[in-house]
Chains A and B, each alone.
Chain A
Amino acid sequence: MPSDSFWSNRIHVLEERKKASTTGDFDKKKIDAMKARIEEWEKSILSTVLSETPERKDLFGNLSGIPLKRLYTSADLKNVEYSRDLGLPGEYPYTRGVYPTMYRGRPWTMRMFSGYGSAAQTNSRLKYLLKEGETGLSIAFDMPTLYGYDADSDRAEGEVGKCGVSVSSLEDMETIFRGIPLDQISTSMTINAPAAVLTSMYAAVGEKQGIPISKLRGTVQTDILKEYIAQKEWAYPPDAHLRIIRDMMIFCTEEMPSWHYISISGYHIREAGASAVQELAFTLADGFSYVELGQKAGLDVDQFVPRFSFFFNCDMDFFEEIAKFRAARRIWATVLREKYGAKNPRSLLLRFHTQTSGVSLTWQQPLNNVIRTTVEALAAILGGTQSLHTNSYDEAWALPTEDAVTIALRTQQVLFEETGVADVVDPLGGSYYLETLTNEMEEQAYRYFEKIDQLGGVLEAIKQGYIQREIANTSYVKTQQLEVGSRCIVGVNKYEVQEEKPIDYLKVNRALGKKAATRLRILKRKRDEARVKKALEDLERTFRDEKANSIPPMLEAVRAYATLQEIMDVGRRVFGGWKEPVIV
C-alpha cells in the first residue's frame, strides 16, 4: 500500500465500521432491542429526573476533545469484532496486553526516576531504593548533562546537580554504579542529545565490572524528535542527531542485543501541555519516523524494531489514560504489520514505561499529591504498563526527599500487594465506555498521522512549528479553563487554604559545581592526553563521514576519559546548533 494513502485508508476503514449497520460480534436484533430500550428509558425515567434535577453541565468532555455521553451500552460496541479489535492478551493486536499472563506472572518493574547532586549522593539513593524493594534503576541527569556540558562549563553555573545527577565523565558513571552489579539489574537513563555518549559510558562501566556489553540490560531514551517537540533539550540540528541515532541502531542491534537504545516518549509531550490524544498521536508518529530511519539505513524492520520501547505519561483523567494505553498498543501493532510489513511478533509489541504526571502535582497542599499519584499509578497498571515510576508528593517544590520517595514507592507496592488489580489481565477490557473511548482515541490519532503526513512528516512538522503549536494551544486552553474555573484543581483554584507551613524539601549544595570542577581538573591531569586526542579526532572523522558509524570511536573516547562536553563539542563543531521556529 503506498504510504501517502495509508492513513486516509485507515481512517476510512474506522469510519465505515461506525456507519455499517452491524458487523461486529453482537447480534443485530439484540442491539436494536437495546437501542429501543434506551429510547424508552430516556423518555420515561431519564426525562423526569432531568426536569427535576438537571445535570452539572450541559456538555461533558475530556481535554482530548472527545464528547462524553451519559451512558455507554452494548449499542456503542455494535461493530466491535473481538478477535480483530481486541485479541487475547499477548495476541495481535495486543489491545488487552502484550503478555498472556501480565502481572499474574510478575509485577511491573518498579523503577523510580532518581538522581540528584553528585554521583556519590545518587549512588546512595539508588542503593537505598534497591534495599526498599525497587526492581529497576532509572537515572535522572542534571540540565548541564542533558545539554552535553561539563560541570565546570560557564553554561553549567548554578545548575550542577539541581535537576538530577551531574555526569561529566566515565568517572562519575563509575561512582553512580559503584557496588551495583550491572548484570543483575536493568537501568533506564533519561537522556537524549548525549544518549550515545551515556550509552558508551554505561557500556564502559560494564566492561570495568567485567560484564560484556552484550549482557547489559536497560534503556536509554535517545528520542530526539520529542526534544524538538516538547522537552527542548537538543545540542545539534535534527538531522545530525538522527544520524547519530541511526549509528546507535546499527551498533546496538549488533553489539548490545538486550539494550533498548530508544524509548519513544510521550511523557514530555504531555508535560508540555498536550492532551492525551496528542500525546498518543505525536509519540507514535515519532515511533514511525524511527522505523523509517532504520529502514533507510538498510536495516530489516524485524531486526531493529523489537528493541524499541515507549514511555508514556499518566495524568488524572482515569479512563482517558487507560484508553490511551490500549489504543497505543493496537495502533502500533496494526501499523507495524500493515504499513511497515513487520512479521516478527516482537516488532508489534508496544512495551512501555509510565511515569505519573509531574504537572498534575500541586505546590499547594502538597500531601494531596499522594492521592493524585495513586490514582494515576492505578490507571497505568490497568492500562498494562511494563514499568512504572510514581512521583513523590514534594516534587512541585524540589527533587524528592528520601521520605517522600519512599511513600511513592510504597504506593506501587500497596497497589500490587493489596488491591487485587494485578490478579486479572486487563480487568477493564469490555467496559462499554472504555472500549468506545479506546476506539475514539485511535481514530483521532490516525487523523493526526494523516495531517503530519500531509505536512511532509514529523521532522517537517516540527520545523514548521506545527506540533509545538498544537501542544501550546491545548496548554493555553487548559490554563484558561483553570482561570475561569470550568476546570478544577483541588487546592489551586478551589478549596484553597492559606499555605503556611512549607514542607521540608531537598536542597542541593551550591558548592557542588566547584567540587565537580576540581575533580575534573584532577581527572584531566591523570588521563592519557594523547589517547583522548586521538579518540576525539577519530570521532570527528566519523562525524564528517555520513557513511561511518560514530559509536565505536565514541566508546573509545569515553574509555579514555574524554569528558562529556569534549565529546559533544566535536559534534557542535561539525554539525552546529539549532534554533527553534517561532511558536507563539
Chain B
Amino acid sequence: MSGQKLENQTTASGQQRKIRILVAKPGLDGHDRGALVLSRAFRDAGMEVIYSGLLPTPEQVAQMAVDEDVDVVALSLLNGAHMTAFPKVAKFLKEKGGADVVVVGGGIIPDNDKPKLEKLGIIGNFGPGTSLKTIVDFINGAVQKNREGRSKSLTTSKGKMLKSSRSAKLKKKKARK
C-alpha cells in the first residue's frame, strides 16, 4: 500500500503525495496530551498520521518509521529524557535506512539542549505553548526542502543509489509481510 505512495511521490496530476508523519513518544513517558493534540492537528492539516502508541523503545520508533515509510518522525517527550531518547531514534533511523526521514522534536526542552539536538539532525524542538500553526508550517517547510533536495540528487549520479536504496527498503518490507 505504502509502496504505491512511494512511487507516486509526484502523481500524474503533478500533485505531491501527502506528508506521512509518525508521532512518537520513545521511552517511559505517559504524558500523551500534546502528542494526541498534534496527531489531530497534523491530520486536519492534510497529513497521514501514524501514532506510535505509548512506551516504544527508540529502536522500535525508528523501525516503525521505516516500516511505515514516513517523511517525518515527530518526537514528543516531557520527561527530561530527550537528550538520550531523541539521538537514539536518529541513530537507529540511519542504521535502518531511514536517514532521509525528517526528525522533529518537542516537549520540555531547555534552550541549552536545542543546538546539541540540531547538530544531530533533530530539528524544531518546540516548547510548551507553541502554536499548532507554527509546528505544521515548520514541518511542511522541512518536508518540502527535503523533497526538493532529494529530487535534485535523483537527477545527479547519486540519484540511482538513492532510488535503489528506497526500493530495497520496499522489498525488505514486503518480505517481512
List chain A positions with a Cβ less than 8 A from chain B: 143-144, 146-147, 149, 154-159, 162-163, 227, 231-233, 271-273, 359, 362-364, 396-398, 472, 475-476, 479, 482-483, 489, 492-493, 502, 505, 508, 510, 579-580, 582-584
CA A158 to CA B158, docked complex, whole Å = 38
Residue interface mask B88-119, A partner, CB < 8 A = 1: 00000000000000000000101100000000
With contact pairs A144-B28, A159-B84, A508-B80 given, residues A396 and B37 touching in the complex (Cβ less than 8 Å): no
- Is there contact, CB below 8 Å, between A158 and B54? no
Chain B residues near A476: list those with CB within 8 A.
36-37, 40
CA A493 to CA B57, docked complex, whole Å = 35
**28 CB-based A-B contacts, threshold 8 Å:** A147-B28, A154-B57, A155-B28, A158-B81, A158-B83, A158-B84, A158-B85, A159-B28, A159-B84, A162-B79, A163-B80, A231-B30, A232-B30, A232-B32, A272-B32, A362-B128, A363-B108, A398-B108, A472-B37, A475-B36, A476-B40, A483-B131, A489-B129, A492-B129, A493-B131, A508-B80, A583-B36, A584-B43
Chain B residues near A162: list those with CB within 8 A.
79-81
Chain B residues near A489: list those with CB within 8 A.
129
Chain A residues near B29: list those with CB within 8 A.
143
- Shortest CB-to-CB span from B28 to chain A, Å, is 4
Closest to A502 in B: B111
- Is there contact, CB below 8 Å, between A273 and B111? no
CA A239 to CA B57, docked complex, whole Å = 25
Between B57, B81, B83, B85, the greatest number of chain A beta carbons within 10 A of the residue's beta carbon is seen for B81
- Shortest CB-to-CB span from A12 to chain B, Å, is 35
Chain A residues near B33: list those with CB within 8 A.
271-273, 359, 475
B161 on the A face (CB < 8 A): no
Closest to A583 in B: B36
The SS class assigned to the A binding surface is loop
- Is there contact, CB below 8 Å, between A505 and B110? yes
- Shortest CB-to-CB span from B114 to chain A, Å, is 11
Residue interface mask B38-62, A partner, CB < 8 A = 1: 0111010000010101110100000
B132 on the A face (CB < 8 A): yes
With contact pairs A143-B29, A157-B84, A159-B27 given, residues A584 and B40 touching in the complex (Cβ less than 8 Å): yes
Chain B residues near A146: list those with CB within 8 A.
28
The SS class assigned to the B binding surface is loop
CA A582 to CA B111, docked complex, whole Å = 33
Chain A residues near B85: list those with CB within 8 A.
158
Query: How many B residues face the partner with a CB closer than 8 A?
Result: 34
Chain A residues near B80: list those with CB within 8 A.
159, 162-163, 398, 508
- Shortest CB-to-CB span from B106 to chain A, Å, is 12
Chain B residues near A159: list those with CB within 8 A.
27-28, 79-81, 84
- Is there contact, CB below 8 Å, between B108 and A396? yes
Chain B residues near A472: list those with CB within 8 A.
36-37, 40
CA A233 to CA B30, docked complex, whole Å = 6
Chain B residues near A510: list those with CB within 8 A.
83
CA A232 to CA B56, docked complex, whole Å = 13
B133 on the A face (CB < 8 A): yes
Residues from 119 to 161 in B contacting A, C-beta threshold 8 Å? 127-129, 131-133
Chain B residues near A149: list those with CB within 8 A.
28
Between B28, B129, B133, the greatest number of chain A beta carbons within 10 A of the residue's beta carbon is seen for B28
- Is there contact, CB below 8 Å, between B53 and A580? yes
Chain A residues near B132: list those with CB within 8 A.
479, 483
CA A580 to CA B30, docked complex, whole Å = 12
CA A472 to CA B32, docked complex, whole Å = 10
- Is there contact, CB below 8 Å, between A363 and B81? no
- Is there contact, CB below 8 Å, between B129 and A363? yes
CA A159 to CA B37, docked complex, whole Å = 24
- Shortest CB-to-CB span from A397 to chain B, Å, is 7
CA A227 to CA B49, docked complex, whole Å = 25
Excluding A163-B80, A397-B110, 12 further A-B contacts by CB distance (< 8 Å) are: A143-B79, A146-B28, A154-B57, A231-B30, A398-B80, A475-B33, A475-B37, A483-B131, A489-B129, A502-B111, A584-B39, A584-B49
Closest to B39 in A: A584
Closest to B129 in A: A492
With contact pairs A157-B84, A362-B128 given, residues A580 and B54 touching in the complex (Cβ less than 8 Å): yes
Query: B128's contact among A155, A157, A363, A584, by CB below 8 Å, is which?
Result: A363
CA A397 to CA B110, docked complex, whole Å = 7
- Shortest CB-to-CB span from A267 to chain B, Å, is 13
- Is there contact, CB below 8 Å, between A584 and B129? no
- Shortest CB-to-CB span from B124 to chain A, Å, is 15
